[in-house]
Structure formats: structure tokens, C-alpha cells
């Protein structure tokens, strides 16, 4: 279904009508009533005064998403019986798409963006575009090819994510073919090729002319190298720099069991939020980032042992390090005025979720926010949208109900998220006092399944302990403290938590390698030492655990931890 362009008279009449009805033509114009958010925000959790509604569902395996100035939505699909893009339009102004059109006989792609009147999109071997038509949902049928990449780049990390700098350039991810450039791919103990022949043709972000047709890879140039794979990249027009989120390497324990514990392999290496300047080298395949040591470390394929920096000393570090294997798949700098001021120019990152955390529960599956000022993080990251996996434990990615993958900002400042499991699209609004919105605020989030107090009610050691728990403990022991049957023990109704504090402190400091029996069940996953935590952090997290999940035991003090550590004064 197509719509003809509006005449000048019709457009002026529509504009006048919209003003009389109190509709925004762009953020900040006049107050507007927003749709009532869906019950339960369409299956996800959001901060207070935010609400979400489901714009469309079951579209296919969604990847990235873009929203046009008129509100039309375009979703790039990984696969949908050969259909490559779906276009969505809301003609009833209820926030939900009532027109859905599939086009482009092409699948396997990742990115889609609107630039200078064209709809750009990618496949594993091409960057293409189609001319947009005023008032029409679908672009013109002619497809122009901007860049053709070698067929070999469709092997390994094949996603061709891209972004524009507004100066006539397009930046394209060309991911690595391998995990760590090993002589024998995915083989335990295999040494790495040195030098790695993949770099800089791959494992790099390349710069091209955004408007020139018929380019090949050699027409561009490597802009930033040593980047294993970045599915999410974005130009920040406030700081005028390129940023990317990198997928870290895999299999530290599986390939090098004598050097790395399962827990270390589960948590490392970090997923990295990068500021990429021309000529930067981030070290792949020789280096990985250890967020616990705060350093780039030498990979075991090149002689590393988890303690040695070697040639990685001086390699550029990330702006922010996230837990390993979360799978960052999109990056968006918020420019709108709807959300509170703290979100302005900050970064939203969509984490697609892990698949390779050994026998531990998979993690990620959330959208986080990083506050930014002058192009640099101005505070710690925080979880913005969660609950995508549903209430069940996720041992395999297929267990997750939804997996957030792509992000977009609407013309009114609302935030869109697309899922890659079923193809659901959420639109998130802010209903608070500073939004200029006259609708009733969204219902406040209820307590999650953890059984703990809501976060704003936590104070002192409990609040500090929850922050430590969420970062280091929740992935194994779950948000509700229930653990994982046969693998990771529960933290509720057990003497290990409620009993002797010295034994409990020792477990955190020294880890636990032997199977243990709790309430008639055996748990066999080893716990790594967490002696890198400070005395106060350990005291806070144990105080939180002993006071949560139905537990009512006493607090643990930093002095008690220091005594067990042998540091008491």
C-alpha cells in the first residue's frame, strides 16, 4: 500500500489541525498526550516514569532499526523467507503499526539507516541504498550498490554495520574471520599466526565515500584496526568522533584450561565500548581487555598467561568495560528532549546476550545507558531496559523470550528497540514531570523476582552490596538468589549464608573448588576467588545476601573481612 505526497495546501491544513489538537511537530513544540503504555511494558522492565508499547510483533529475526522523520519504521531482518527489510507505518495514531510491507529480496543483513534521502542497508558483502520517496512508505525499487566486499568477508564475523559522519564518509565494520587468528581454527592449544594476516583487511573499521557508487574494499582505508567485531557503531555528532562496541574473544578456559578457570572464561574478556580515532589499534588478536585488572593482556595464543601484558602494554583501553560475552549489538547516542536531561548525549547500548558462558546461565539480554559529557563517560553505566529473557533461566540463548538487538530514536525523542527472536518492536516513552507530556505517568516498576526491596528503598551497605551482587554474583546465583540446579548453589535458606560468617567470607576470598551439598542437592561448579574486591565491597555484598531473598541474618563488617584476610589492625 502506498501514499501519494501531500499537496502544499493539504500539508498546511494538516499542520494547523495538528497544532489545534495539541500534537508535537517536533520535540519541545507543544504538549502532547502519549499512548497509554502496555501492561507490563510489553514484557520488559523499565525505570520509573517510563513506559513502553509494542509497535509491531513477529516480524522476523530483527537486527537493526531506523525511524524516519515522519515516524515510518524500517527494520533490517536477518532472515524472513528471503525478505530483507520490513517497513512499518501507523495511520491511526495509536502508536501501533497497522501497515506492514516487506521488500528487498535479500537476507543475512544487519544494518539499515536513512542518510541524505536514501535508505542504506547492508548484507554480508554489500552496502546498498534505495532512494526514499516523499510521502511514500516504500522507497524506489532501484538498488544502488555503494560498496562490494570480497566474498571471503561473508565468512566468520560477517556483519557489515555502518555509520555516517555527516561529512560525506561512511564507516563500515569488517569483522575478523576467526576467534584469535589461530593456526588451527577453534583448536585447543593452537598458537596464533604472527603477524595475523587478517589485519588490517579484517578486524577493522574501514572508511569510504558515502555517496560514490561501485566501490570495492581497496577504494576505502582502514580507520581503526585490531577490533575483533563491532556490530554496533555510531558517529557522535556532539563530540564529532566515531564510537564502537566490540565483541570480545571466546574460549579462554576451553582452549587454555591450565591458564584460565571456567569462571574467568565466563566473565572475560570484557565487551568494550570504544572511542575510535583514525589510526587507533585496539590489539586484536594479540590482546584482550581484562576488566578486573584494568589492562590489555597478552592472549595465550601469543604467549600470555593471564598475568602478562607484553606487547599489549600501551594498547588503547576502552571507555567502559562490560562483562564478557554479553554481545553488544547496537549503539545509539540520545539526542532527543523527551527523556530527562541526564540522558541527553548519553549512549544506549543493546546487548544481544551470550551463548558461550560454559555451563553457567547466559547473560546480557538488556539495554544499558552510559551517561556522557564532552565525549567521555561521566558516570557508571546503568541498566535501562531488562526482563527480555522472561522469568525462566537461560542456559541456552534459545531459552530467552526476546533478545534486544537494534536501537533507534524517533522524531519525538522516544526510543525504539527491536528483538531478534520474534521480531518485536518496542517504543519507549517518558511520562515524568519534565517530559512536557500530559498523559498519566506510567506505573512504577514493581519489585522483581529477587524478593528484595526496590532499589530506591535500599540504603547504605545494602544498596552498595546490591551493586556488587548485580555485577559479580547474579549471573551464577540468579536475581532471586535461587542459584542453578546442580551447578550454582542457592543463597537462601542455607546455613552457608545464615551461619558462620568467617566461613562465608573465606568462600568469597578464596573461592570454592569442591562440590558441596546443600539441602540434599549437590552443586559442582567451582567458584573463583573474588579477593580483588575490597574489604568494604565484600562486607557490603555479604550484608546484602544475608538480608535478602528471605534471609534475616546480621550484617558483615569490613573489619571482619579484614580479620579473615589477615589484615586486621
Alpha carbon distance 228, 211 (integer Å)? 27
pLDDT value of position 146: 98
Classify domain 455-565 at the CATH superfamily level. Cytochrome c-like domain (1.10.760.10)
Fold of 32-435: Neuraminidase (2.120.10)
Alpha carbon distance 309, 114 (integer Å)? 42
Alpha carbon distance 198, 194 (integer Å)? 10
Q: Kindly give the interhelix angle for 460-468 and 535-546, rounded to the nearest 10 degrees.
A: 100
Alpha carbon distance 368, 349 (integer Å)? 5
- Counting Cα atoms < 13 Å in the Cβ hemisphere of 422 gives 14
- pLDDT, mean of each 10-residue run, the chain (569 residues): 37 35 35 74 94 96 96 89 89 94 86 98 96 96 97 94 98 97 91 97 98 98 98 97 97 95 95 98 98 97 97 97 97 96 97 89 95 96 95 86 97 96 96 60 34 50 88 78 74 88 92 80 75 90 91 90 80
What global pTM score does this model have?
Answer: 0.74
Burial of 21 (0-12, 13-18, 19+ CB in 10 A): exposed
Q: Which long-range contacts (CB under 8 A, 24 or more apart) does 193-198 make?
A: 194/286, 194/302, 196/285, 196/286, 198/285
Distance of CA 54 to the CA centre of its chain: 20
Alpha carbon distance 44, 404 (integer Å)? 10
Helices (H), 223-349: 252-255, 262-267
Q: Do you know the residue count of the chain?
A: 569
User: Following DSSP, what letter does each residue of 512-537 receive, concatenated?
Assistant: B-S-EEETTEEE---B---TTS-HHH
What are the residues facing 425 on neighbouring strands? 56, 418
The residue extents of the domains of the chain are 32-435, 455-565
Alpha carbon distance 401, 423 (integer Å)? 11
Fold: same for 32-435 and 455-565:
no
Q: Are 549 and 480 in contact (CB under 8 A)?
A: yes
pLDDT value of position 486: 60
Q: Are 383 and 42 in contact (CB under 8 A)?
A: no
Q: Are 115 and 103 in contact (CB under 8 A)?
A: no
Residue 11's H or E segment, with its range, is helix 8-20
Query: Cis omega (within 30 of 0) on the bond before 65?
Result: no
Distance of CA 551 to the CA centre of its chain: 33
Cell numbers linked to 175: 569483522
Q: Are 287 and 297 in contact (CB under 8 A)?
A: yes
Sign of CA pseudo-dihedral 202, 208, 210, 213: negative
Residue 208's H or E segment, with its range, is strand 204-209
pLDDT value of position 3: 34
Cell numbers linked to 105: 529480496
Amino acid at each position: 500500500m502506498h501514499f501519494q505526497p501531500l499537496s502544499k495546501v493539504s500539508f498546511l491544513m494538516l499542520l494547523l489541525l495538528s497544532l489545534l489538537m495539541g500534537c508535537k511537530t517536533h520535540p519541545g513544540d507543544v504538549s502532547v498526550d502519549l499512548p497509554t503504555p502496555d501492561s507490563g511494558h510489553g514484557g520488559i522492565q523499565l525505570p520509573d516514569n517510563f513506559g513502553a508499547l509494542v509497535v509491531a510483533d513477529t516480524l522476523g529475526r530483527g537486527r537493526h532499526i531506523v525511524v524516519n522523520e515522519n515516524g515510518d519504521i524500517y527494520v533490517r531482518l536477518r532472515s524472513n523467507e528471503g525478505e530483507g527489510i520490513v517497513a512499518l507505518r501507523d495511520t491511526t495514531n495509536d502508536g501501533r503499526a497497522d501497515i506492514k510491507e516487506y521488500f528487498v529480496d535479500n537476507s543475512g543483513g544487519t544494518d539499515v539507516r536513512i542518510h541524505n534521502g536514501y535508505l542504506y542497508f547492508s548484507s554480508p558483502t554489500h552496502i546498498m541504498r534505495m532512494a526514499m520517496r516523499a510521502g511514500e512508505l516504500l522507497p524506489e525499487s532501484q538498488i544502488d550498490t555503494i560498496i562490494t566486499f570480497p566474498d571471503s568477508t561473508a565468512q566468520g564475523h560477517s556483519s557489515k554495520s555502518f555509520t555516517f559522519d555527516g561529512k560525506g564518509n561512511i564507516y563500515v565494520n569488517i569483522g575478523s574471520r576467526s576467534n584469535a587468528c589461530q593456526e588451527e581454527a577453534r583448536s585447543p592449544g593452537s598458537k596464533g599466526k604472527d603477524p595475523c594476516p587478517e589485519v588490517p583487511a579484517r578486524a577493522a573499521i574501514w572508511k569510504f565515500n558515502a555517496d560514490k557508487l561501485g566501490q570495492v574494499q581497496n577504494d576505502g582505508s582502514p580507520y581503526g584496526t585490531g577490533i575483533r567485531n563491532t556490530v554496533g557503531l555510531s558517529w557522535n555528532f556532539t563530540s564529532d568522533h566515531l564510537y564502537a562496541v566490540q565483541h570480545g574473544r571466546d574460549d579462554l578456559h576451553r582452549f587454555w584450561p591450565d591458564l584460565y578457570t571456567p569462571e574467568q572464561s565466563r566473565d572475560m574478556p570484557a565487551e568494550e565500548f570504544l572511542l575510535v580515532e583514525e589510526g587507533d589499534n585496539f590489539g586484536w588478536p594479540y590482546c584482550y581487555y581484562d576488566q578486573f585488572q584494568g589492562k590489555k593482556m597478552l592472549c595465550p595464543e601469543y604467549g600470555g598467561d593471564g598475568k602478562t601484558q607484553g606487547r599489549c602494554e600501551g594498547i588503547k583501553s576502552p571507555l567502559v568495560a562490560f562483562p564478557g560475552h554479553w554481545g553488544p549489538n547496537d549503539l545509539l547516542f540520545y539526542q532527543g528532549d523527551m527523556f530527562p536531561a541526564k540522558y541527553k548525549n548519553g549512549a544506549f547500548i543493546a546487548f544481544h546476550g551470550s551463548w558461550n558462558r560454559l555451563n553457567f546461565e547466559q547473560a546480557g539480554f538488556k539495554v544499558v545507558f552510559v551517561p556522557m559529557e564532552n565525549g567521555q563517560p561521566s558516570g557508571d553505566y546503568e541498566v535501562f531496559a531488562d526482563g527480555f529473557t522472561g522469568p525462566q533461566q537461560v542456559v541456552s540463548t534459545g531459552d530467552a523470550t526476546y533478545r534486544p538487538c537494534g536501537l533507534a530514536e524517533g522524531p519525538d525523542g522516544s526510543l525504539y528497540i527491536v528483538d531478534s527472536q520474534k521480531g518485536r518492536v518496542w517504543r519507549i516513552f517518558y511520562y515524568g514531570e519534565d517530559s512536557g507530556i500530559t498523559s498519566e505517568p506510567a506505573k512504577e516498576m514493581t519489585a522483581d523476582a529477587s524478593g528484595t526491596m526496590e532499589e530506591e528503598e535500599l540504603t547504605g551497605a545494602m544498596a552498595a552490596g546490591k551493586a556488587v551482587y548485580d555485577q559479580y554474583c547474579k549471573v551464577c546465583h540468579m536475581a532471586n538468589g535461587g542459584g542453578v540446579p546442580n551447578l550454582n548453589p542457592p543463597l537462601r535458606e542455607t546455613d552457608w549464608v545464615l551461619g558462620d560468617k568467617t566461613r562465608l567470607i573465606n568462600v568469597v576470598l578464596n573461592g570454592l573448588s569442591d562440590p558441596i551439598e546443600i539441602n540434599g542437592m549437590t552443586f559442582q561448579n567451582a567458584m573463583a576467588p573474588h579477593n580483588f574486591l575490597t574489604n568494604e565491597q565484600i562486607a557490603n555484598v555479604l550484608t546484602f545476601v544475608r538480608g535478602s531473598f528471605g534471609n534475616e541474618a546480621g550484617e558483615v563488617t569490613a573489619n571482619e573481612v579484614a580479620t579473615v584476610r589477615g589484615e586486621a589492625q
